[in-house]
Amino acid sequence: MYKELVTAKQMRYADNFAIENLGIDELILIENAAIAVLGECPDSNEAAIFCGSGNNGSDGFALARHLYNRGTKVKVITVFDTENTNLNILKKLGAQVISFDEMKDIDADLYIDAIFGTGLSREVTGKAAEAINFINKKEAFKIAIDLPSGINADTGEVMGCALKADVTVTLARGKVGLYQYPGREYAGKVIVKDISIPTMCFEKTNIFATEGIKMPERREDTNKGSYGKVLTICGSLGMAGAAYMAAQAAVKSGAGLVSCAVPSCIFSYTGKRLIEAMTINLPDDGKVITIDALDKIIEESKKANAILIGCGMRNTKQSAYLIREAVKTLKNKKLVIDADGINALKEDLNLLEGTTITPHPGEMARLLKSDIASVQKDRLSCACNFAKKYGCTVILKGAGTVTAYPDGRAFINLTGNPGMSNGGSGDVLAGLTASFLAQGIPEGEVAAVYVHGLAGDMCKKKYSDNAMSATDIIKMLPAAVKKCKV
């Protein structure tokens, strides 16, 4: 259900270990790589293979030989001057080999990108950039070997320019950058192919892509107390919807009991809508929950298996003070902190130890005293480093949501779509996360992110990603959970 991913450094280590410690000839690995990619190449009359000077280019030359033997008219374009065993074989076979400097124009029905692989660490310029842009302009089918040239293997960043592939055949293990945007968009369909590097060559990886989850079966001899009690502390005047959506998401995702604690000013509204959850009336100042509510929150928390705080609470002095004091006293609980809960703690980050936080990129930037662009440039590292430093679990929301645990494990989610970019979607995820933690579902945060995105994908199919809302996602949660039990 979880696909192991590797960084460029881990992949280099595995390659070197296989060659230097096990004595596996590098040409064998190149041959295996070529055969692996060949199996994903559609039938074509003419194939243009653009090859660099490194290992990626070697894979391209070997693939060109196999395509040539298959009867395909092959045009091999060398982007840089290079000496290569398979290139020499191609020349002896009589295959067409052209230097990019001498190339005028080429028409083919299949283009293969073998210019750069995992070793790229600088911006693409010069002939390589020209070659990438040339291929991108072609309408024909495009396959990238290992990574689209120009994509950073670790971050998914576009290094100046990058090839936009229809299919990326990545070798041995999935590369982290293929599962993070914008790399994920440039890669097209990602296919991981084995090239016979033994498992022992790979260092232990802590990075995974979440391709699916398995919801646990429920035993017959159980009751509502068996599936967790969730307490949500959310809402303020004008933000009653956030409190409703968070609690309702917990209800619709299988929590045994849900209690929704809200300020008095929205108690009546929330109580009328939440007919399957209990509502708790908290003292307020007419707009937000005040510190006078702390004793009641502590008392109610004694009954809860998981607690959510922050959705729609507003970032005022009153609410921020309450949140800080509540977090101090609830740290022995499974505590999910969202939205204004996160904002209230940005100057007290040590309070986050043992909690789960669900920031969007803007909130993450505030926690790091950085900016959104820096967060988005390397989402995985931002989430992982923060989780380790402060001992909390981080769910960094966005395309390819990252869940990072303080023990170093990180999961990149593969469900979800742009239709979920609307008000309330984060409240749904926060309630869903608290629900799964209360139920004791393994890696409950990862499961919540996956099911949230899956429900969004099912909404997209029903409504389109132009016309769906957070409450649509809530309605689809039972169907999404059911799909994870098959």
pLDDT at residue 486 above 70? no
Q: Which ranges of 100-180 does DSSP label H, i.e. alpha helix?
A: 126-136
Q: Are 259 and 280 in contact (CB under 8 A)?
A: yes
Res. 231: pLDDT tops 70: yes
If we measure between CA atoms, which residue out of 208, 213, 195, 155 comes closest to residue 379? 155
| pLDDT surpasses 80 at 304 | yes
Residues 248, 271: Cα–Cα separation, whole Å: 12
Least Cα distance to 294 among 262, 326, 266 occurs for: 326
DSSP 151: B
Tell me the per-residue pLDDT of 268-286, one tens digit each, with 9 for 90 and over.
999 999 999 999 999 999 9
| CA distance between the termini of the chain | 13
* pLDDT at residue 62 in the model: 98
Distance CA 251, CA 141 (A): 46
DSSP code string of 167-193: EEEEESSEEGGGGSTTHHHHH-EEEEE
pLDDT tops 90 at residue 324: yes
Residue 482 has pLDDT above 80, yes or no: yes
**Under CATH, which number does the domain 224-483 receive?**
3.40.1190.20
Whether the per-residue pLDDT at 207 is higher than 70: the answer is yes
Sign for the pseudo-dihedral over CA of 50, 56, 60, 62: positive
Is pLDDT above 90 for 332? Answer: no
Question: What does the domain layout of the chain look like in residue ranges?
Answer: 2-205, 224-483
Mean pLDDT within 134-139 = 97
2-205 sits in which CATH class? alpha beta
pLDDT of 204 reads: 87
**Paired strand residues for 412:** 209, 402
What mean pLDDT value characterizes the chain? 97
Span 7-60, pLDDT tens digits: 999 999 999 999 999 999 999 999 999 999 999 999 999 999 999 999 999 999
User: Quick one: tokens of 16?
Assistant: 């070197």
Q: Encode pLDDT of 85-132 as tens digits.
A: 999 999 999 999 999 999 988 999 999 999 999 999 899 999 999 999
- Span 352-374, pLDDT tens digits: 999 999 999 999 999 999 999 99
Q: How many CA atoms lie within 13 A of 134 on its CB side?
A: 23
Question: How deeply is 466 buried, as exposed, middle or buried, from its count of CB atoms within 10 A (0-12, 13-18, 19+)?
Answer: exposed
